[in-house]
Amino acid sequence: MVDLPGDMKKPRTSVELFAGGGGLAMAVHRAGFRPLLLNEFNARACETLEANASRTLGVDGVKRTESRSPVPPAEGEPAPLFPLDVSHLDLSAFEGQVDVLAGGPPCQPFSAGGVAKGDEDKRNMFPAMFKAIREMRPKAVICENVRGLLRPSFRDYFTYIQRELALPFESRKSNDLWQEHNRKLASILGDTVDLPDEDDNAEHYRVKVFPVNAADFGVPQVRNRVVMVAFRADLPVDIEKFYEIYSARKYSEEALYLSLLDDNSEYWTRHGYVEPHVRERVRARIPKDVQPKLGEEDLPPWRTLRDAIQGYGTDERLPALPNIDLEMLDKKTNQADHLGISDHVGWPEARIYKGHTPNELDRPAKTVKAGVHGVPGGESVVLLDELASGSVPGDGATYRHRYMTVRETARVMTFPDDWEGSGPRGEKMRQLGNAVPVLLGEHFARAVAETLDDAGQ
C-alpha cells in the first residue's frame, strides 16, 4: 500500500469516474486523497481494480455494488465500485463530502485514431461528468482527455464543454441540441469561458485547460493530452496563479538531446556499455545546434524507454527488467517461467512498415494506444540494439525488433510493478492504452491538494 504524503494537512477524499485500469485513481491517492467511490463499465477493468485496490489505491479493497444510490464508506471500509453505466448513478449522498472528482471520459469520440464523431457519439460521457458535479458539488474537478479535443473540427464543442464545466447547474434539457445550450451558456459568460473575478457562486467553477505532453512531466512516453482542472468559485483560489505554476514543464527534450551527445553524460554512464554504432544511430536523429530553452537550462532530461526498462523511468529506482530472449517469443509459457516477473512476456510477429514506426530505446516511448489496426498494443514495437542478421553498422543498417511486453508498457505508463492487469494480453494493453500515466495524474492531483491547502480548504 502506498503511504499518504506526510505533509498533508488533513485527509482528503475523491471520487473516480471512468477509472479503467486505475492510472488516475492511483495518481489521486498518491496525492493524499482517499477514494470514496470508483466507477468503471468494462468488466476486465473492474477485475483489475478489484485485484489491485489494496496495493495501489490505499483502501482495504473495493466492493462491487449495483446500487444506483451508493453511500460514502467510512474510513477503513472498502470503497464501492459501481460497474454499470455512470449515467444511471445517483451520487447525491456524496454532496459536500468530496474534495476532488476525477475522471477521463472515454476519448474515442474525439481521438484522431477513432471515428471522431464527437458529440454525436454515444460514448461521449462528458454529460455524465457534469451530472456528477451537480449531485456532489466537489471542491475541484480533474478531467483528462485526448488532444483531439483541440482540433479545429471540435473547437466549438470543446468551448461548450468548458462552459458546461464552469456552469454545471445550468443543465441541458433532454431535447435541446448542444448548440442551443451553448448559446444559453454564452449569454451568461459572454465570448469567453471565464467567470468574472467577483463571482463566488458555489454552483459555478473556475476552469483552466492544460495542453500537456506527459514527457514534460517525467513520464517516459510522448503522450499529448488535455487536462482540465476546475475549482468551485466560492473557494479563494487564484486560478491564474494556479495555471502559471502548474503548467510549466518539469523535464526537457533539449536536455535529453544534449545528454545523448555527451559520451560522459549521466545518461550513458547509468546505462553502461552501449555499442558505438547504436549511439551514432541515436545521434543522427538529433537536431543540429540544439540548446536549452530560455529559463529551462536546469531542467532534467526527458526520461526514455531505455530508462523505463532499466528502472529509471520514475523517481523511484526499480530493478532492471530481464532481457527478452528473441528466440523464445513463440514459447510464451516457458518464457514467463524463465523470467520470473509478471506480464514480462515477449510476443512474436512484430512488424515495422510505413506508418508503423517503432519505439526507440533512447527516446520516450511513443503514445501507448488502446488499439491499432484492431490489435490492442499493436503499435508497441521497440527497435533493439542488436543488428539484424547480415547487417553491418552504418547508413542503411537494420536492427532487430519485437513487441513491447505488458510490463514494459506499464512502466512507460508509470504504473508500479505490483500492478497486474486482468485478462489476456490484449485486454491488459487496452487498459494501459486507455489510462492516465500515474506521474502525469499525480502532478495535477498534488497541484489541486496544495491549492486547496493554500485556500484553507
CATH number of the domain where residue 244 is located? 3.40.50.150
Residue type (1 letter), 390: G
Contact 28, 142 (CB under 8 A): yes
Residue 315, in any domain of the structure: yes
Please name the residue ranges forming H helices in 190-331: 239-246, 253-261, 266-270, 276-283, 305-310
Q: Are residues 160 and 240 in the same domain?
A: yes
| 8-state DSSP, 169 | T
46 is catalytic: no
Q: Give the pLDDT of residue 336.
A: 62
For 441, the grid coordinates are 495524474
Residue 136, in any domain of the structure: yes
Residue 388, in any domain of the structure: yes
Q: Are residues 114 and 24 in the same domain?
A: yes
Exactly one of 25, 59, 107, 309 is catalytic; name it.
107
Domain that holds residue 262: 253-423
pTM for the predicted model, two decimal places: 0.92
- Distance between alpha carbon 241 and the CA centroid of its chain, in Å? 24
Residue with cell 449522498: 93
Residue 6, in any domain of the structure: no
Q: Give the pLDDT of residue 363.
A: 97
Q: Are residues 302 and 190 in the same domain?
A: no
Separation of alpha carbons 192 and 181, rounded Å: 15
Residue 155, in any domain of the structure: yes
Stretches in the chain below the pLDDT threshold 70: 1-10, 107-124, 332-340, 372-378
Separation of alpha carbons 244 and 28, rounded Å: 21
Q: Are residues 443 and 419 in the same domain?
A: no
345, 321, 319: which is closest to 332 by C-alpha?
Answer: 345
Q: Are residues 33 and 104 in the same domain?
A: yes
Q: Are residues 197 and 344 in the same domain?
A: no
Q: Are residues 127 and 51 in the same domain?
A: yes
Q: Give the pLDDT of residue 376.
A: 60
Residue 442 makes CB contacts below 8 A (sequence gap 6+) with 27, 28, 30, 31
Residue 33, in any domain of the structure: yes
CA angle 230, 235, 239 (to 5 degrees): 50
* Torsion of the alpha carbons at 250, 289, 306 and 318, rounded to the nearest 10: -30
For 81, the grid coordinates are 465500485
Residue type (1 letter), 187: S
Separation of alpha carbons 429 and 404, rounded Å: 10
- What is the residue-averaged pLDDT of the chain? 89
Q: Are residues 224 and 314 in the same domain?
A: no
Domain count, the chain: 2
Concatenate the DSSP letters of all residues of 409-436 into one string.
HHHHTT--TT----SSHHHHHHHHHTSP
Q: Give the pLDDT of residue 339.
A: 63
Q: Are residues 55 and 135 in the same domain?
A: yes
Q: Give the pLDDT of residue 248.
A: 96
Q: Are residues 32 and 95 in the same domain?
A: yes
Residue 67, in any domain of the structure: yes
Q: Are residues 117 and 240 in the same domain?
A: yes
Residue 5, in any domain of the structure: no
Q: Are residues 356 and 322 in the same domain?
A: yes
